[in-house]
Structure 1
């Protein structure tokens, strides 16, 4: 265990994070998790870690658990002169940019762009996540005209997507699965045949969009197979970003820990059975080139974006990894996976997934833990704008 001095993003003396840097080594993809989406202290801690990774270890791409199109459109706005804080507020799931504790990251990205040391923003979720996504149907139709898509695949996807925006997943029940699958293939082939300058991105975009529409059509089934579709496509999108969009560049991933864990099969929970997280897919393709850092806490309170209220989670379960770290007197600490394996081998209790006490071989699920003794909740501006 290594003591961490601070989670304050304004604290730029990064010597306390050196053990984390040593554990990461030459890793190219670092995935930063969170117990839930109301973890204000975790948002601050992740921001400080991002600053360290950017300034000291050369990471210069940040990929959010948000729409691949939304963030593509946001980065285009940034490249055209918009502030990252303004563009990203229209692209990322609102649960993050509308919280006060996420604002230091937006301010940091604004400052780094002004200093000509920008963090490039991207997304890997197949879902539309904010207001910028509303332009996607029109973009697909415009692409159809650009490439002369006689197959109709691009227009088909545009129409289905627009209908889902208006009436939700129910609007997709009139479509057959094979129609949606065929439209995706036709759209990809039309773009490949015409080979416009941005063909690589748009082929991935239509592949992701078709998969998302199939997912929404099948979501009423409520099965592990269907739920896994999102994580599988998020992994495919992230792998594409690493391989084609940002080859050779170092990527930071901001996501929920539930999506980035490497292995859920060791976890003793019914919910985990049959679930294949994005992290398992990344483990297959980037086993030696990625590092999963889960943020967890010894107790405290969490906020709610939808309700704008606060829930007291109490203290971490007795005997848990978190309780044992806390008993050692740490306010903040970093535990590498190897140290976790030595100090707490085999099956251990933890609540790092959604504050639910779960037994499992956690050193097989994550590469490291960032411990926060007391979790403070996310807070929001008085406007109450929930979008």
Structure 2
């Protein structure tokens, strides 16, 4: 029995390896070596392979496997510099508070100390307190404000967490609704079921009366004029509503929580692309788990949630103008600033994507979009650490448009 099992395993392994040959060969023959991830390295010749792959795309999504991947933060910083200076990308949208970053940055006095304080208080501390993001946030972005070729910061996350929102969101919405003079504002429920719920930190606490808050927003939206349907205020209201809906599902139905949040993040990003910055090129900073598309092609572990990238690219025009770059690491440790414990990332599978890259290659880029164009009928599944730092079996060439490979992973350090 043991001998038969061994032979069967050998046959299956051989079939798997044979089926992967076209993809493996493509990766090995078309891999572009990246010279460095150091942010201060401004000779961008090695990044031209990524620039050529992006082509005329108007939206570029940059992922990360975990929210503490130090080399990824450095690589993304250098990529943002390249995309800004050589490819004309001027907006960077973060997986952070939609209202705070989008409205707050626009109203901000663009002076270095004010800019630094705003970034520190409004972008998630996973990044804003990271030593590896220091160059981007507190040196490069402020420098562009004085150059006349400035970078614009925006957010697209429905989660309300930032200081600017705590200080300004309630007044901003209250003034807008009173100016519209809708009927609901004149009722006692406006204060008890809507404004009072916005005090303190209610929109990130599942103990608050979210159901009545959601109903109140639905009433408000129904009474607003149709011409406001694409306004920023309307998007803020919808984002708050979906944040409350997802919060209600947080403990009891994690899948529903994630789907609601990711769908609203996609809607907020669409609004930035189509209405706020229709003539700008936009960089998106978020997790791999949020930016990936076609999650139905993930077989093991089975994907039971829909990511933002999938919702976003359901619009055919947006899909054609978007390049999604996932990040991948071979070995090392990972962890976040918000957690003391670190962990060893999984070793790659024997036939996995990471093993196709030469051992002495520290950084590389592979264009999966070009592979799809060259082999339109090829549907090869293979192992890759393409979401977090765990192996997953999927049709990765249809999930990302490209992959940025990092050999050695290590966790981010807190900025001094």
Separation of aligned partners in 2, 1:149 and 1:50 = 43
> Which has the larger displacement, 71-80 or 245-254?
71-80
Number of matched pairs: 374
Alignment match, 2:402:
368
Instruction: State which drifts further: 254-263 or 88-97.
Output: 88-97
Question: Residue in 2 aligned with 1:40?
Answer: 70
The residue matched to 2:328 in structure 1 has which SS? Answer: strand
Task: Please report how far the alpha carbon of residue 166 of structure 1 lies from its aligned counterpart in structure 2 after TM superposition.
Answer: 8.6
SS at match of 1:298: strand
1:140 aligns with 2:177: no
For structure 1, the residue ranges without an aligned partner over 5 or more in a row are 383-387
For the residues of structure 2 that align with 1:251 and 1:193, how far apart are their CA atoms? 28
Aligned to 1:298: 330
Range 333-342 or range 131-140, more displaced: 333-342
Structure 1 residue 114: Cα displacement: 1.7
| Structure 1 residues 171-250: aligned runs within 5 Å | 171-172=208-209, 176=211, 179-189=212-222, 192=225, 200-250=231-281
Out of 320, 332, 342, the residue aligned to residue 363 of structure 2 is 332
Query: 1:165/1:184 Cα in 2 relative to 1: closer, same or farther (>3 Å)?
Result: closer
Counterpart in 2 of 1:69?
Answer: 99
In the TM superposition, what is the alpha-carbon distance from 1:226 to its structure 2 partner? Answer: 3.3
Cα distance in 2 between the residues matched to 1:306 and 1:225? 25
Counterpart of 1:247 in 2: which secondary structure?
Answer: coil
Which of 13, 16, 26 is the matching residue for 2:56? Answer: 26
CA RMSD of aligned residues (A): 2.5
Cα displacement string for residues 339-371 of structure 1 (whole angstroms, at most 9, x for unaligned residues)? 556799601101121111110000111000011
The within-5 A match list for 1:279-298 is: 279-285=309-315, 286-298=318-330
Q: Distance in 2 between matches of 1:225 and 1:269?
A: 20
Report SS of the residue matched to 1:132. helix
Shift of 1:191: 5.0
Q: CA deviation at 1:270?
A: 4.4
Partner of 1:385: none
Cα distance in structure 1, aligned partners of 2:205 and 2:404 = 38
Q: Which residue pairs with 2:383 in the alignment? A: 349
SS in 1 for 2:314: helix
CA contact (8 A) 1:164 1:170 kept: no
1:195-240, Cα deviation, whole Å (9 max, x unpaired): 6xx9811111111111111221232322423320000000000001
Q: 1:311: which partner in 2?
A: 343
> Aligned partners of 2:203, 2:149: CA distance in 1, in Å?
40
- In 2 relative to 1, CA 168–133 (structure 1 residues): closer, same or farther, beyond 3 Å? same
Change over 3 Å in CA distance of 1:193–1:293 after alignment to 2? closer
Unmatched runs of 5 consecutive residues or more in structure 2:
1-30
Cα deviation for residue 44 of structure 1 reads 0.3
Structure ID, larger Rg: 2
- Choose the corresponding residue for 1:86, options 89, 114, 117: 117
Q: Using a 3 Å threshold, how does the CA distance of structure 1 residues 299 and 201 change in structure 2: closer, same or farther?
A: same
TM-score w.r.t. structure 2 length?
Answer: 0.83
More off after superposition, 235-244 vs 133-142: 133-142
Asked whether the equivalents of residues 62 and 119 of structure 1 are also in contact (C-alpha less than 8 Å), the reply is yes
Q: CA deviation at 1:182?
A: 3.8
Q: Is the 8 A contact 1:140 1:158 kept in 2?
A: no
Give SS of 1:9's match.
Answer: coil
Instruction: State the partner residue of 2:21.
Output: none
Alignment check: 8 A CA contact 1:267 1:359 kept? yes
Post-superposition offset of 1:259: 0.4
* CA displacement 1:276-306 (0-9 Å, x = unmatched): 1111112111110100001111111223222
Q: Shift of residue 157 of structure 1?
A: 3.3
Separation of aligned partners in 1, 2:200 and 2:396: 42
Q: CA deviation at 1:87?
A: 1.2
- From 163, 166, 182, the equivalent of 1:149 is 182
Q: Secondary structure at the match of 2:183?
A: coil
TM-score, structure 1 as length reference: 0.89
Go from structure 1 to structure 2 and tell me whether the alpha carbon gap of 1:331 and 1:288 turns closer, same or farther (over 3 Å shift).
same
